[in-house]
Structure formats: structure tokens, C-alpha cells
Amino acid sequence: LTLDDLFNNTRLSELRLTNQFIQELQKASLNERHSGLDSEALHRLRNPPTEQFSFENQTDGANLRLAFEIFLASLKASVDVYNTTRTSILRRHPEDNLPSYDQMKKILAQITGVGSIVHPMCRNSCVAFTGPYIDEDYCPKCEEPKRCPISGRYYQDFHTMPIGPILQALWRDPKSASRFEYRRSKTREIIEELRSNAGKLSSYEDFFHGSDYLEYIRSGDITDNDIVLMFSIDGAQLYAHRASDCWIYIWVIMDFSPEERYKKEYVIPGGFIPGPKKPKNLDSFIFPGLYHLAALRNEGLPIWDAATNRLFTSRLFLGLNTADGPAMAYLNSLVGHHGKFGCRLYCPTPGHHKTNGTHYYPALLKPVNYTMAGCDHQDLSHFSTFTSHSHYSTNLAFLLASPNDAQYKRRRLETGIVKPTIFLGLPPRSTLAIPRCFGSDIMHLATFNLSDLLLSLWRGTFDHDPLDSPSDWPWAVLQGEIWESHGRNVAAATPYLPGSFDRPPRNIAEKINSGYKAWEWLLYLYGLAPALLFNILPDPYYSHFCKLVRAMRIMQQYRISSSDLILADTLLRSFAYEFEMLYYQRREDRLHFCRQSIHALLHLALEVTRIGPPICSSQWTMERTIGNLGEEIRQPSNPYANLSQRGLLRCQVNALISMVPDLQLSKGNSPRGASDLGGGYILLRARDRYHRSMKENEAIAFKKYLQSHHSLTLGDGWTAKITRWARLRLPNGQVARSRWKEALKPINKIRTARNVKVCSLSTLAIVSLYSAPLPDLLLQSHGTFISCKYFGDLGLTVVDVTCIKAVVAMIPCRPPGVDQDDSYYFLVERPGLDITDLGDIHEIVRAEQ
């Protein structure tokens, strides 16, 4: 059946309303009223400039450039900073012509062609007056009027930034245009590997390694001229202590390399939905942005490529749609995690519910002595399958044909679908098949979701049946003094975690209910916990937890080898099965232990083969965008309007800098006196003022290095003169420190950064090697508790600095059997270091004496 056939069979009014949004998208055109573009914007969109922008070609270009330099330098400050600077310059040079701040914003919009489309909305945030609601004068949900009866103005409006003009601007400089080459070259590279390796990939590094994307390449639905996008949405609370909810969605340009696409300069704010209440019809708010996307897909987006001086037509392809759990239910229009079919990826796994309960839980093992009409199916396999578009379509047709409300509710339960998703309205083959275009969310899964489940169980605070006392749970050990001591140990690790690890976990016993951040959970669960829970969390629960840690360390990387992916998949399936056996134990009163966060683990590895590593489509980018836009709010009295204006300004400024790259202010990452070694390695001061002789043990190590690597014969009396440097910046943005300066400070005043990860053994570094990991601990923890002995000066050796790949943490510990030896440490690598590389987040460095 076609969508028209399905819609013609729809009986219920609410479902027909959703169908109307979809039908409007199906016939999207830039000429229609839903487009929202005025004639000038439409003409420029269809006829983009075909030359590079230059201030030299503008009237009074020198003054205009000066004005923009001041404007950009004062972006994070108040408007008064620009105006005061302008006034001072004009006082000294009255003959100059510097536009006012308001004039600058208009000029910026004219140069870039980037603006916003403004639509009215309900003052209570219920709906936007778009699509089928466009002619309504009153909110269909709360019946509030659209306009003020006295002034005639809209009570509330919201902004949508159309993506077309922004993409056109990004092609107007050769360097910026060349960034779009990444997808094409990477695709050719992947296809060549598949041809030469019997259709197999050695690793998965991006969305483009996924089978779904490659199938669209094979079919010709994505060509070299097209642009692949990712849509991401989330709710945000602007202020911690007052109602200030709003929603933001962004576009990520997947054609750019992972090192570029997640940067603030290239993440495109797409729309802002003011609060403080949640929208009751999200479709009406994202409709303008999707309509623009659909219209461009239908008509084609004309683009001038400054790198090749050619004009071509691009058809936009929406690769993925991402959101956290609650927001995803709005996007995919499924029932959410409480439903009988609650998987966000819409796999056909039904849940069980308790007697007289309505909440379903995705336990794959059937409870004992359990008979429940509609959900007493037998045990299900822990080997998940891909989500099927045909399965979704069949169920959607069944739902839409509901003759009345009673049948609708029954069919909603049996299908897991609430209504058709608005994304059905996008042109055919312009996105991955529904529901496969909706991705997972490893950020919230790996942090808040799993930590809440596991810590609640281990602390004995999990909701439980009156007859199932936590005092009888053998795993509920984090209580009383043990819990307090554990929290102190977490906090005590802080001095040993390098500054590049960002925010260290606070005392978890004191702060677990005080806004423990996602990054703290990441460091705690996958860094500290395997060591700090050893001999506290009893077996088999400890070994079971370590399986999760090992697998999630793999799954959070940007590059996942095929062999590591198989290992992670095996560990995750084993973890999910053993979770039910160890904790839930087929008890009906413990069905609620089996959350969707456990079920989601079964899909992670298989999703990598379909859409690439989950970190590439995670919510980290969305969360970071919310954070850095929120920091720019300057009008607390009207934060929503101010946030929208800052988002529009972000789009315009990013477009301008792409067109005129030399307007970009230097980030000043290398302080005075730094020495660039090439390849991303930079020596940073402090530095010895004079050459010095090496210590005896250092000289011995250096001598061995020269003799073995350079075939030199050095006499017994040979000595070397060296110059010490305090710090070394690595290509990944981390800064390693030497013992020379770091040892001068007390441990509670530093974040230790002189433990490094070294590859195969110029500018040289003297390092002290640790021992090999204790094998018994390594085996028991599935490779997650890596405890090594520190040899100090007895382990000195010399390496080329380019062998240093990362800064790691080595935290003091006392493994079993070595209680009197204080020279053992356990390894913590920075979780998600790859995604930090992708976002271009570098450790801030300052000059040191």
C-alpha cells in the first residue's frame, strides 16, 4: 500500500491530523506558503552568488572589515562592548564609517544570505501555527488566542534557520568547499576495501562504513553532488532553579570529516522551540525545517563550488535522526520505553508486565509460574535482528485502519506505534527507511541510564517488592561505611586524573543526588569502578560488571576494528543474559529490573555494521551545543528570544567565516616560547635556561638508546648535555608533563599528567616503564583492571616523543597479595577520547615559568 492508501483508510481525527503534516511535506515546494521564504531570499537561494566574497570589492571595504573584526571579537560580550569600541574609534577618526551594531547584523545577513523564518506559536508552547494549523486563530489544545487582541501581535513566536543558504555559504571559499570532499573520498576508499577484501571491512570509523549508507550509494540515491545531514534534537533547561525548558534541534554535516563536523563552527542550529512548557505537538514545530529540507530535495539546491568554479545541483539526504529517549518518542512516534514493544529501534521484542500492571519490561527470559494473557510468550533469543521497514509499514497500516478509539488503543499496544512519524513525509529515498533512520543514543545509555540501574541495585535503593528485601540481595554491598569509603576513594583519585580528563568524578557518596554529570559517570563507571569495586562487589557480580566495562570501552571509540566489534558483541550479549540470570532471576516481582537500557545493549554492535560507531551519532554534540549556546544568553528576562537570536547569529557568523576564513580569530593554542616538532607535537615551556648534564641513571638509558638505535659506540666517559622541557602537547590535544616540574607541587595541588601511553620504542623523552599488568586481575576483570608496578628510576628508558600517543591516569592501588607494596597503580584511559578529538576540544595551555 502507498501512503495515500494508508491515509485514505484513516478514521480517527488525531491520526488524520498527523497525516496532513505528512501530506504537506510530500508536496513541499519553495513556492508554497509553507516555505516561509520571501521573494528576495527565494531568488538568492535559486541563484547563489558565483564568486568569492572579498571586502576589497565592497564599498568602503576597509572600514567594513574593521567593523566585522570588532564585531566578531565582541561576540561573547555585550552589545555595549562593540558600541563603545566603535565610538572610541570614531572619536579618533571621525572620517571613518563604522556601522552600528544593528546595522552590522543586517549587513551580516545580506552578505551571507542566512536568516530565519519566524512562525507564531501557542503562548503555552502547545503547538506551532504551521502546516494544518497555519490558519488557526486559537490553539487547538488550550484554546488560547494566537494574537494579542489589543496590539494584534503574536503572543509568542519561534525561529527556524533554513539550512539551504547556510550550505551555499560553506561552498563559497575553496578551503571550506574542500571539506565536503571527505565523504566522497572516504566512500571510494571504503568501496575499494570491500572489493579487495571479499566484501569485509577491517574497521568501522564513520557513518559511511555502515551498510545502510553503502546500499544507498550502490542504488544511486546518494551521488557525489549530494550532501548528507544528521538531525538531532533535545530539550534543555536554561536555568537550574526556575522553569526554563526549551527545545533545540541542530544539523550536522556528515560530509565533513569527523575531526571537523562536530566543531562549534560547523554544527548548524536548525530551530528553537521556546518554553517554559513542553510542546504538545512537536511535529508542528519541526515542520518548517523539514518542509525546507523536503523542498530542496524535490527542487535541488543550486551550489557554486569555489574550489572548482562550477555550479551544480545538490539533493540533500537525511542520514540519521537522533535524540535521547524521551525526545525520540516524539520523533519516531513510537510508544516509548513503557510499551509492550518499547525498543527505540523498533525491534519485534515484546515485553512482560506484572500482574495488574501496565508497564512492560523487556525481559527475554519468561518469569517462572507466569501466566499473563498477551505477554506470556516463551524465552526469546539474546541475538537481536535488524529493524525491518516492512514490519513497521504493516503495523502502521493496521494502526491507521483503527475504526474507533477502543480499537486504536488495542492496536497501539500490539504494534508499539502511536501515530505515523512526520518523517514519512520526506521525499522517497531521501532518508534511510523508517524506522532505520532513527539512531541509538550511547551517551545517555552509557552514563545516566546504566549508572542509575547498577548503582541503585548495588546500593539496595532500587524499587522492590515488599517481600523482596534488599537486605537479602547479595549484590547490595554499597551501603553504610563501605559506601562512604568508596565515595572517598573516588574523590581521592582526582589528583591522579590529568587535566585533559576534564571534570573528575566527585565523591559519589555525597554527590550522587546533586547533579552528577554525564562525564563524571563515564569516568567513574568505565575508568575507576573496575579497580575501586574489586573485592567489594562480590563475584559473580564483579566479573559480570567488568564485561560491560570492556565492551563499552570499545563501543565508545570512533574507530572500532572488526575483531573488537565481535568481542564487544559477545560481551554485551553475555552481560544482558547474565543480568537476567543474576539479578532478575525469572521472578515476576523483579521484572522491573529489566530496563530498556539492558535491552539496548543487544543492538549496539549490530548497529555499528549498519550505521557506523555509535559515538559518531551520539548526543554529545547536541549537549555541547546546548551548553555553549546557553552560555551566550545575555537577557535573562527573555531568554528564549535571546537564545534564538544567538542561534541565528551563530549560523550567520559561521557562514561568514567560511566565506572569509582569515576573519577567524586565532585560538592562540601555542604559548610564547613553544617549539613545534611537527606532526601535532609541540614542546611547551617551562624550559631549562641552560644545558645541563644528565643524571647517571638517565645517561645510562640515553646511552643504550643511542647505541641500539643509531649504531654508535660510546666510551665509558661519555656524557650528554640536555635541555629539559616541562610539557609536551600531543596531536590529540592532551598535554603531558615531565616529573621535573610536576614533582615540585604537592599532590593535592595538581592533576597528574606525566603517565603516558607509548607505542613502539630527534626529540627524545626519558620515561620510566611500568611492569606488565598483573595477569590474574586482568583475567578476572576481563581486561578492565590493569594494575602495574612502578619501577621509578630502575625502569628508565628513552623514546622518541612521537611514540607518545596519549596521557593516561595511573592511580595508586594495593592489589591482593601485595598489601605492603605502595608501588602499584591502576590504569585509567580517558573514556571517549576519540569523541573529544572529533569536537576539537584541546586542553587549555598557559605559559609557565
Question: Are the beta carbons of 24 and 424 closer than 8 angstroms?
Answer: no
- Nearest Cα neighbor of 475 from 579, 592, 365, 367 is 579
- For residue 836, the model assigns a pLDDT of 40
- For residue 711, the model assigns a pLDDT of 66
Query: For residues 794 and 157, what is the distance between their CA atoms, to the nearest angstrom?
Result: 69
- For residue 804, the model assigns a pLDDT of 84
The DSSP secondary structure of 174-207, one letter per residue, reads HHHHHTTHHHHHHHHHHHHHHHHTTT--SEE-SG
Say what the pTM is: 0.92
- For residue 503, the model assigns a pLDDT of 86
- For residue 576, the model assigns a pLDDT of 98
Distances 78 to 87, 116, 268, 635, 755 between C-alpha atoms, Å: 15, 22, 23, 10, 42
Mapped to the 3 state alphabet, what secondary structure does 102-155 carry?
Answer: HHHHHHHHHHHCCCCEEEEECCCCCCECCHHHCCCCECCCCCCECECCCCCCEC
- For residue 833, the model assigns a pLDDT of 55
- For residue 726, the model assigns a pLDDT of 86
- For residue 845, the model assigns a pLDDT of 45
Query: For residues 391 and 387, what is the distance between their CA atoms, to the nearest angstrom?
Result: 8
- For residue 752, the model assigns a pLDDT of 83
- For residue 842, the model assigns a pLDDT of 43
Question: Are the beta carbons of 651 and 658 closer than 8 angstroms?
Answer: no
Residue numbers in the chain where pLDDT is lower than 50: 761, 835-847, 849
- For residue 761, the model assigns a pLDDT of 46
